[in-house]
Amino acid sequence: MSTDKTPEQPELPPAVRRLWGIDAPRRRGPKPALSTARIVQAAMDVADTEGLPAVSMARVAEALGYTPMSLYRHVANKDELLLLMVDAVADDPPEIPDEAGWREGLELWTRAQIDVGVRRPWMLELPLSSAPPGPHRVRWMDQAFKALRTIDLPADEKLAMIGLLAQHVLGEARVQVESHRAAVQQVLRDSGLPASTPESELDPAAVEAANPWADLEALLVRSAGPGGYPHLFAAFSTWDATASTPPDDEISFGIRILLDGVETYLRRRGALPDEQPDEG
Amino acid sequence: MSTDKTPEQPELPPAVRRLWGIDAPRRRGPKPALSTARIVQAAMDVADTEGLPAVSMARVAEALGYTPMSLYRHVANKDELLLLMVDAVADDPPEIPDEAGWREGLELWTRAQIDVGVRRPWMLELPLSSAPPGPHRVRWMDQAFKALRTIDLPADEKLAMIGLLAQHVLGEARVQVESHRAAVQQVLRDSGLPASTPESELDPAAVEAANPWADLEALLVRSAGPGGYPHLFAAFSTWDATASTPPDDEISFGIRILLDGVETYLRRRGALPDEQPDEG
DNA sequence: AGTTTTAGTCTATGACGTACGCTCATCAGC
DNA sequence: GCTGATGAGCGTACGTCATAGACTAAAACT
Give pLDDT tens digits for B140-166.
999 999 999 999 999 989 999 999 999
Do B164 and A257 lie within an 8 Å CB cutoff? yes
* Burial (0-12, 13-18, 19+ Cβ within 10 Å), B20: buried
Assign domain B102-269 one CATH number from 3.40.630.30, 3.40.50.10580, 1.10.30.50, 1.10.357.10.
1.10.357.10
User: What is the crossing angle of helices B155-191 and A230-237, to 10°?
Assistant: 130
Please calculate the CA angle A120-A68-A90 and round it to the nearest 5 degrees.
20
* Angstrom distance, B18 CA to C29 C1': 30
Do B138 and A175 lie within an 8 Å CB cutoff? no
CATH of domain B14-88: 1.10.10.60
Least Cα separation, residue A65 to chain B (angstroms): 30
pLDDT number for residue B247: 59
Q: Is the CB of B79 under 7 A from strand C?
A: yes
- Taking a C-beta distance cutoff of 8 angstroms, is the pair B160, B123 a contact? no
* Angstrom distance, A27 CA to C30 C1': 88
pLDDT number for residue A237: 80
Q: How confident is the model at residue B3 (pLDDT cuts 50, 70, 90)?
A: very low
pLDDT in tens, chain A (280 residues): 333 333 445 577 888 889 988 888 887 889 999 999 999 999 999 999 999 999 999 999 999 999 999 999 999 999 999 999 999 999 889 999 999 999 999 999 999 999 999 999 999 999 877 788 899 999 999 999 999 999 999 998 999 999 999 999 999 999 999 888 888 878 887 777 766 677 878 888 888 888 767 666 767 776 556 678 899 888 888 776 666 666 568 899 999 999 999 999 999 999 887 655 555 3
What single-letter DSSP state applies at residue A241?
Answer: T
* Residue of B143, B156, B217 to mutate, testing the A interface (most A Cβ within 10 Å of its Cβ): B156
How many angstroms separate the CA atoms of B126 and B83, rounded? 8
pLDDT number for residue B89: 94
Taking contacts as CB-CB distances below 8 angstroms, the residues of chain A near B228 are: 135, 138-139, 142
* Structure confidence by residue, pLDDT tens digits, B54-81: 999 999 999 999 999 999 999 999 999 9
Q: How far is CA B116 from CA A129, B34, B93, B128, B176, in A?
A: 19, 27, 10, 14, 12
Domain A14-88 identical in fold to domain A102-269: no
Q: State which residue of chain A sits closest to B215, comparing Cα positions.
A: A12
pLDDT number for residue A4: 37
Q: A60: left (phi > 0), else alpha (psi -120 to 50), else beta?
A: alpha
How many angstroms separate the CA atoms of B105 and B143, rounded? 9
Q: How far is CA B88 from CA B19, B38, B119, B135, B136, in A?
A: 9, 11, 14, 9, 7
pLDDT number for residue B8: 44
Q: How many CB atoms lie within 10 A of CB B17?
A: 18
- Taking a C-beta distance cutoff of 8 angstroms, is the pair B96, B109 a contact? yes
Q: Which of residues 26-45 of A touch strand C (CB under 7 A)?
A: 26-34
How many angstroms separate the CA atoms of A152 and B235, rounded? 10
Taking contacts as CB-CB distances below 8 angstroms, the residues of chain B near A9 are: 218, 222
| B72 nearest nucleotide via C1' and CA | C18
Query: What b-and-e string marks burial along A61-83, b requiring 16 or more CB atoms within 10 Å of the CB?
Result: bebbebeeeebeebbeeeebbbb
How many angstroms separate the CA atoms of A104 and A127, rounded? 29
CA-wise closest residue to B98 among A108, A230, A188, A249: A230
| B33 nearest nucleotide via C1' and CA | D8
Least Cα separation, residue B65 to chain A (angstroms): 30
* Angstrom distance, B57 CA to D18 C1': 18
CA-wise closest residue to B181 among B124, B254, B127, B116: B124
pLDDT number for residue B219: 72
Least Cα separation, residue A12 to chain B (angstroms): 7
Q: If you average pLDDT over every residue of chain B, what do you get?
A: 85
How many angstroms separate the CA atoms of B255 and B172, rounded? 10
How many angstroms separate the CA atoms of B95 and B109, rounded? 9
Taking contacts as CB-CB distances below 8 angstroms, the residues of chain A near B178 are: 127, 129-130
* Angstrom distance, B28 CA to D4 C1': 12
Is the pLDDT confidence value at B243 over 70? no
| A74 nearest nucleotide via C1' and CA | C7
Mean pLDDT over B101-119 rounds to: 96
- Give residue limits of the domains in chain B: 14-88, 102-269
* Structure confidence by residue, pLDDT tens digits, B23-41: 777 778 788 889 999 999 9
How many angstroms separate the CA atoms of B137 and A221, rounded? 16
- Taking a C-beta distance cutoff of 8 angstroms, is the pair B221, A12 a contact? no
CA-wise closest residue to A184 among A195, A175, A174, A173: A195
pLDDT number for residue A143: 97
CA-wise closest residue to B128 among A48, A174, A55: A174
* Structure confidence by residue, pLDDT tens digits, A92-124: 899 999 999 999 999 999 999 999 999 999 999
How many angstroms separate the CA atoms of B261 and B164, rounded? 11
pLDDT number for residue B276: 55
